[in-house]
């Protein structure tokens, strides 16, 4: 950390900051400039609250030097992490595609969806059994019955299941039925849930919160990694901005940024990041062109009858076209 003193700070104030730095176990080194003095704090100062120092007399501001994440960082772990999924490795050159409906609604619906996405070339099946909904009056998901139907669809098609857990106690339950536990955007900073996921053996798909920075996403991954679970995929699913024409704003920059900062695989969710099916294929292509390792896409046998997220769900034939389009882009950027 750097501590910047105010232009008119006194040498007594500077000395007080230095002794405070030393009191908490670090070394202070000074640079006297023309207008002001800065103090460099030597040592791993990640565990302490940097802003404490801003309260000392004569201090103008503090600035972090070290990246706050370690286990998720490419600095500490330069090689890409690969996560096995249905015979593929997420993070390897081949693009993986997770697809399926927003919610499990019935046996016939999930079975039809599973067969359709498998035929189109999907790697895994998504589908929500526990649904986080803004309104208590909206459909809240089928619960464990939904998990059972997902397991049936998995058995019928061979596609592994990706589905959401919304609380720590749901983690073991979901892990019994699904290969990948999704942590949703609204729960990205639900630390009790992150810890539970970190303690499970399941793979984790961690979605970026709609209000969360890239750094915060990596810090949430750090929670899971710090508990010993290294099978974490990160998912960009759009952030909230002032633009209201689309449901969210796809932060496409996050794809190359994450690939640079971390060794974990990066998945793009063009369904939530746009909110309208018309734009899903264009943004799926863009995601792969930008370097994403995979996609997660909402597909419904009949979107006009969907109990949730109908507007952003693709019909099976549109999804099959998406897979073909994405394949060509993947090859153009040296992927498969």
Residues 8-27 touching its own copies, rule: CB under 8 A, are: 8, 20
Rounded to whole angstroms, the Cα distance separating 116 from 161 reads 15
Shortest distance, position 22 Cβ to its own copies, whole Å = 14
**Interface residue with its own copies, options 42, 93, 156, 176 (CB under 8 A):** 42
**Interface residue with its own copies, options 186, 199, 318, 321 (CB under 8 A):** 186
Q: Please, which residue, 159 or 218, has the CB nearer to its own copies?
A: 218
Determine, following the binding rule CB under 8 A, whether residue 145 of this chain makes contact with its own copies. no
Determine, following the binding rule CB under 8 A, whether residue 276 of this chain makes contact with its own copies. yes
Q: Candidates 107-115, 119-127, 171-179, 184-192 — which segment interacts with its own copies by CB under 8 A?
A: 184-192
Shortest distance, position 61 Cβ to its own copies, whole Å = 9
Q: Please, which residue, 36 or 86, has the CB nearer to its own copies?
A: 36
**Interface residue with its own copies, options 21, 113, 162, 255 (CB under 8 A):** 255
Dmax over Cα atoms in the chain, in whole Å?
Answer: 76
- Residue 303 structure tokens: 């979107």
Q: Which of residues 188-217 bind its own copies (CB under 8 A)?
A: 189-193, 209-216
Phi and psi, residue 208, nearest 5°: -70, 135
Determine, following the binding rule CB under 8 A, whether residue 155 of this chain makes contact with its own copies. no
Determine, following the binding rule CB under 8 A, whether residue 263 of this chain makes contact with its own copies. no
Determine, following the binding rule CB under 8 A, whether residue 288 of this chain makes contact with its own copies. yes
Nearest to 264 by CA among 311, 335, 314, 205: 205
Nearest to 83 by CA among 167, 203, 176: 203
**Interface residue with its own copies, options 11, 158, 256, 336 (CB under 8 A):** 256
Q: Which of residues 125-144 bind its own copies (CB under 8 A)?
A: 132-139
State whether the Cα torsion 58-63-65-70 is positive or negative.
Answer: positive
Rounded to whole angstroms, the Cα distance separating 83 from 193 reads 21
Rounded to whole angstroms, the Cα distance separating 193 from 174 reads 12
Question: What contacts 24+ positions apart, CB below 8 Å, involve 30-38?
Answer: 35/7, 36/4, 36/5, 36/6, 36/7, 36/9, 36/60, 37/5, 37/9, 38/2, 38/3, 38/4, 38/5
Q: Please, which residue, 124 or 255, has the CB nearer to its own copies?
A: 255
Q: Please, which residue, 35 or 201, has the CB nearer to its own copies?
A: 35
DSSP symbols for 104-123: ---HHHHHHHHHHHHHHT-S
Across 267-294, b (16+ Cβ under 10 Å) vs e yields bbbbbbbbbebebbbebbbbbbbbbbbb
State whether the Cα torsion 93-280-188-159 is positive or negative.
Answer: negative
Shortest distance, position 82 Cβ to its own copies, whole Å = 21
Shortest distance, position 96 Cβ to its own copies, whole Å = 18
Number of chain positions touching its own copies (CB under 8 A) = 112
Q: Which residue has the tokens 């990066």?
A: 266
**Interface residue with its own copies, options 19, 107, 176, 328 (CB under 8 A):** 328
Q: Please, which residue, 158 or 256, has the CB nearer to its own copies?
A: 256
- Residue 180 structure tokens: 């990948």
- Residue 58 structure tokens: 């004569």
Q: Please, which residue, 6 or 89, has the CB nearer to its own copies?
A: 6
Q: Which of residues 221-240 bind its own copies (CB under 8 A)?
A: 222-223, 226, 239-240
Q: Pattern 53-92, binding to its own copies, x per CB under 8 A?
A: -xxx------x-xx-x------x-----------------
């Amino acid at each position: 950390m750097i501590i910047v003193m105010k232009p008119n700070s006194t040498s007594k104030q500077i000395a007080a900051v230095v002794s405070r730095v030393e009191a908490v176990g670090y070394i202070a080194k000074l640079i006297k400039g023309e207008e002001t003095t800065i103090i460099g704090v030597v040592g791993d100062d990640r565990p302490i609250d940097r802003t404490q120092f801003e309260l000392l007399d004569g201090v103008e501001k503090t600035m972090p030097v070290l990246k706050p994440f370690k286990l998720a960082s490419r600095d500490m772990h330069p090689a890409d992490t690969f996560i096995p999924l249905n015979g593929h490795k997420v993070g390897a050159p081949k693009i993986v595609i997770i697809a399926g409906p927003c919610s499990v609604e019935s046996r016939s619906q999930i079975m039809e969806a599973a067969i359709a996405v498998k035929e189109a070339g999907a790697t895994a099946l998504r589908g929500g059994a526990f649904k986080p909904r803004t309104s208590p009056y909206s459909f809240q998901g089928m619960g464990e019955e939904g998990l059972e139907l997902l397991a049936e669809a998995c058995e019928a098609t061979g596609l592994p299941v990706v589905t959401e857990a919304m609380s720590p106690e749901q983690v073991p339950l979901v892990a019994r039925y699904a290969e990948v536990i999704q942590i949703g955007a609204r729960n990205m900073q639900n630390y009790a849930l992150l810890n539970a996921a970190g303690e499970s053996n399941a793979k984790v798909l961690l979605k970026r919160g709609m209000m969360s920075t890239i750094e915060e996403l990596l810090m949430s991954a750090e929670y899971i990694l710090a508990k010993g679970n290294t099978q974490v995929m990160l998912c960009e699913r759009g952030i909230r901005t002032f633009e209201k024409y689309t449901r969210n704003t796809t932060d496409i920059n996050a794809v190359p940024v994450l690939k640079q900062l971390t060794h974990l695989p990066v998945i793009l969710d063009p369904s939530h990041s746009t909110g309208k099916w018309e734009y899903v294929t264009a943004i799926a292509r863009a995601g792969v062109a930008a370097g994403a390792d995979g996609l997660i896409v909402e597909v419904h046998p009949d979107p006009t009858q969907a109990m949730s997220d109908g507007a952003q769900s693709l019909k099976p034939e549109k999804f099959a076209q998406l897979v073909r389009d994405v394949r060509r882009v993947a090859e153009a950027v040296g992927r498969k």
